[in-house]
């Protein structure tokens, strides 16, 4: 069984290239596209498109299971069971990322951490070992108490570690995205029939994409009828989607399907649908709605970012406030 160890960055730290990714086998750096793909797949829905994580990973494996003679410089290797190595790396990285903490605020006077000689402010690295997967999860409950709204679309809440600022759209988007993914896995959608079906004009390739994924769209709560060569008639939408946004939501959801044919297409479609279904930045939420959104966010997987990789919240720790207001002496 391969042992994967090393360090990976939290989603908030990324680069525009893969220069910050180093993969080694038994301590020797290698070029391994498959393993880099395995790593980046773990960040899907956590990083914005075009951004890449920082990582230093070493795969410990029996030398008999590795062929190092596939490249003259021995930088490329071939694994006897690549699937097992691929899965071990993803288990380790996902285990590390699941332990990521909310984004933290640090004043300019805070110290800057350094890793491998590179200044990396506000970076916490996690050990990416297979042992982490069996670690006992914390039993501490982190219930956020709503205080109110600030600015055009931020919720202010109090938590056990400090004040939390929440981007209400990004937070609701993540909650709905995870909910839609669960429905896709279960094959059961929750839809609301439209009293008056809405005709949506779309390009022929989008109609083809809809036909290819009709069952999955139904699991998301989208139901439709073909209405001519360039039009669909929408008969039902997810219960979370305001009917007034149905046209734009359908067009973008189908565009995501057409653009990302194959693996990951339905995840992109679910992200587009979640974006149109979520509360908007600037909507006024009453206290009950704030409390419900905060509770849903706390119980949602991978909740520190929206499905497009934007942060959902910022934590201002009590100790940071104590230092700022000089209450520590």
For residue 83, pLDDT beyond 80: yes
Whether pLDDT at 17 is above 60? yes
- Given this model, what pLDDT does residue 14 score? 86
CATH number listed for the domain at residues 3-134: 3.30.230.10
Least confident of 12-21, 43-52, 219-228: 43-52
CB-based burial label for 157 (10 Å; 0-12, 13-18, 19+) = buried
Which residue shows structure tokens 């020797």? 28
pLDDT(122) > 60: no
Instruction: Work out the pLDDT band at 190, boundaries 50, 70, 90.
Output: confident
State the pLDDT confidence band at 262, using cuts at 50, 70 and 90. Answer: low
45-82 tens-digit pLDDT: 788 778 899 999 999 888 888 876 645 455 778 888 88
Residues 6+ apart with CB under 8 A from 112: 119, 120, 121
Delimit the domains of the chain by residue range.
3-134, 143-329
CATH of 143-329, one of 3.30.1540.20, 1.10.150.530, 3.30.479.30, 3.20.20.60: 3.30.1540.20
Is residue 206 over pLDDT 80?
yes
Concatenate the DSSP letters of all residues of 60-108 into one string: E--GGGEE--SSTTS-B-EETTHHHHHHHHHHHHHHHHHTPPPEE---T
pLDDT of the residue at 147 = 96
Contact 293, 171 (CB under 8 A): yes
Residue 57's Cα: distance from chain center in Å? Answer: 21
Among 99, 96, 87, residue whose Cα is nearest residue 56: 96
pLDDT recorded at residue 20: 92
Tracing tokens 């694994």 back to the chain, one arrives at 79
Three-state secondary structure call for residue 51 = coil
Percentage of the chain modeled with pLDDT above 70: 84
Residue-level pLDDT at 130:
34
Residue with tokens 């640090």: 106
Q: Do the domains 143-329 and 3-134 match in fold?
A: no
Note the pLDDT of residue 302: 82
């Amino acid at each position: 069984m391969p042992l994967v160890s090393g360090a990976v960055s939290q989603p908030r730290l990324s680069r525009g290239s893969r220069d910050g990714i180093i993969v080694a086998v038994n301590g020797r750096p290698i070029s391994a596209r498959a393993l880099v793909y395995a790593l980046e797949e773990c960040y899907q829905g956590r990083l914005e498109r075009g951004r890449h994580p920082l990582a230093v990973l070493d795969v410990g494996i029996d030398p008999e299971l590795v062929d190092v003679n596939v490249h003259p410089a021995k930088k490329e290797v071939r694994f006897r069971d690549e699937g097992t190595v691929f899965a071990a790396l993803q288990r380790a990285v996902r285990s590390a990322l699941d332990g990521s903490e909310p984004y933290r605020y640090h004043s300019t006077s805070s110290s800057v951490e350094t890793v491998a000689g590179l200044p990396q402010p506000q970076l916490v690295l996690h050990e990416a070992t297979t042992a982490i997967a069996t670690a006992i999860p914390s039993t501490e409950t982190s219930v956020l108490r709503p205080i109110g709204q600030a600015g055009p679309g931020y919720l202010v809440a109090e938590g056990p570690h400090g004040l939390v600022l929440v981007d209400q759209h990004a937070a609701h988007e993540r909650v709905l995205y995870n909910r839609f993914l669960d429905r896709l896995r279960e094959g059961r959608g929750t839809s609301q029939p439209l009293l008056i079906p809405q005709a949506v004009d779309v390009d022929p390739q989008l109609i083809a994409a809809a036909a290819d994924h009709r069952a999955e769209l139904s699991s998301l709560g989208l139901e439709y009828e073909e209405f001519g060569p360039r039009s669909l008639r929408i008969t039902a939408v997810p219960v979370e989607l305001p009917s007034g946004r149905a046209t734009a939501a359908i067009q973008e959801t189908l565009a995501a399907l057409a653009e990302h044919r194959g693996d990951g297409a339905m995840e992109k479609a679910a992200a587009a649908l979640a974006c149109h279904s979520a509360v908007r930045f600037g909507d006024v939420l009453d206290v009950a709605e704030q409390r419900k959104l905060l509770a849903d966010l706390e119980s949602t997987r991978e909740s520190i970012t929206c499905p497009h990789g934007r942060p959902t919240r910022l934590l201002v720790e009590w100790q940071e406030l104590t230092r700022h207001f000089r209450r520590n002496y």
